[in-house]
């Protein structure tokens, strides 16, 4: 049996590459994403009453890793990136059917010139991710207070983040276009996006990530992230 799925829309997010995307939703709440519905799903009736729900589930395709396939065992970052566990005991993108599931905050619906868009906050999705379905988050059924979270029971520890004098000036320069840039960079780096498994030779490395059309470089100094340079991508 095979199933063919058609996305209802494509989400646009600040995250231009997989590296540095938060590993779950709700960790970087300054990040706003816009789901642009495909023409055949641009009927605003489809979103009637959705504003009654503060949060939504997004079902999506891990489209960028689909071709890499899957295996029964994966190495989740929460286990240090070096220990294997069963794919169905993880939220890894490398899974049969490559479907992802994220709860996000509802922001607003915009319907202009026949184009339907849904704005959300806090997603962990790459720019351009196909959205397969959207459902309201229903607290009485979905929030289970006695649930056990296995090896991912509590949120990851946060790193502190600071900005060099140069980076502070650059933030000011980009603030008209991206008013929440400093908060966004801080929240993203506080998650420590570096690969969980590292060798000592990587301690002094300069890391780079892209958010929107910006290339952001940082280093880890005495256990803190220091943002050093923010440039428009070439
Ligand atoms: N909350 C989702 C996703 C968890 S994995 C779930 O549980 O199903 C989150 C990681 O997926 C991100 O850190 C990013 O590296 C990766 N990712 C996000 N969008 C992707 C996409 N479109 N294709 C491949 N990987 C993606």
Q: What are the tens digits of pLDDT across the range 157-208?
A: 999 999 999 999 999 999 999 999 999 999 999 999 998 887 766 778 999 9
Give the C-alpha distances (Å, rounded to integers) separating 134 from 159, 167, 228: 32, 38, 38
Q: What fold is seen in the domain 160-232?
A: YaeB-like fold (3.30.2310)
Q: How confident is the model at residue 46 (pLDDT cuts 50, 70, 90)?
A: very high
Atom 13 of ligand 1: nearest residue by CA position: 23
Domain ranges in the chain?
Answer: 9-142, 160-232
Whether 102 lines ligand 1, by a CB cut-off of 6 Å, is yes
> CA 150, CA 89: separation in Å to the nearest integer?
9
Q: Is 24 in the pocket of ligand 1 (CB under 6 A)?
A: yes
Cα–Cα dist 71/153, whole Å: 24
Neighbouring C-beta atoms of residue 96, cutoff 10 Å: 10
State which of 20, 62, 196 you would mutate to test the pocket of ligand 1, scoring each by most atoms of that ligand within 8 A of its C-beta. 62
Gap from CA of 75 to ligand 1 centroid (Å):
14
Cβ 64 under 6 angstroms from ligand 1: yes
- State the closest ligand 1 atom to the C-alpha of 129, by its place in the atom list counted from 1: 22
Q: How far is the CA of 130 from the centre of ligand 1 (A)?
A: 12
CA–CA separation, 12 and 16 (whole Å): 9
How many whole angstroms from 58 Cα to the centroid of ligand 1? 12
Tens of pLDDT, residues 110-125: 999 999 999 999 999 9
Nearest CA to ligand 1 atom 11: 93
* Confidence (pLDDT) at 44: 98
pTM above 0.85, yes or no: yes
User: 31 CB less than 6 Å from ligand 1?
Assistant: no
Q: Which of 138, 106, 139, 114 is nearest to 35 (CA)?
A: 106
Q: In what order do the strands lie in the sheet with 224-232?
A: 161-163, 224-232, 214-221, 207-211
State residue 202's pLDDT score. Answer: 72
Topology at the third CATH level for domain 9-142: Elongation Factor Tu (Ef-tu); domain 3 (2.40.30)
């Amino acid at each position: 049996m095979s199933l063919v799925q058609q996305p209802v829309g494509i989400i646009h997010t600040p995250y231009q590459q997989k590296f540095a995307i938060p590993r779950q939703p709700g960790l970087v709440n300054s990040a706003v994403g816009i789901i642009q519905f495909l023409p055949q799903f641009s009927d605003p009736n489809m979103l009637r009453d959705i504003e009654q729900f503060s949060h939504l589930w997004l079902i999506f395709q891990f489209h960028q890793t689909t071709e890499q396939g899957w295996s029964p065992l994966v190495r989740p970052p929460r286990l240090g990136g070096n220990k294997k566990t069963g794919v169905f005991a993880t939220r890894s993108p490398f899974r049969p059917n490559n479907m992802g599931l994220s709860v996000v905050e509802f922001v607003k619906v915009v319907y202009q010139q026949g184009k339907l868009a849904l704005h959300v906050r806090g997603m962990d999705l790459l720019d351009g991710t196909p959205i397969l379905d959207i459902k309201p988050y229903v607290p009485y059924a979905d929030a289970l207070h006695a649930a056990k979270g296995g090896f991912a029971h509590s949120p990851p520890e946060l790193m502190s983040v600071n900005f060099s004098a140069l980076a502070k000036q650059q933030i000011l320069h980009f603030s008209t276009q991206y008013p929440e840039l400093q908060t966004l960079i801080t929240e993203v780096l506080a998650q420590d996006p570096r690969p969980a498994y590292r060798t000592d030779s990587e301690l002094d490395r300069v890391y780079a990530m892209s958010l929107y059309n910006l290339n952001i470089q940082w280093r880890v100094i005495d256990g803190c992230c220091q943002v050093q340079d923010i440039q428009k991508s070439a």
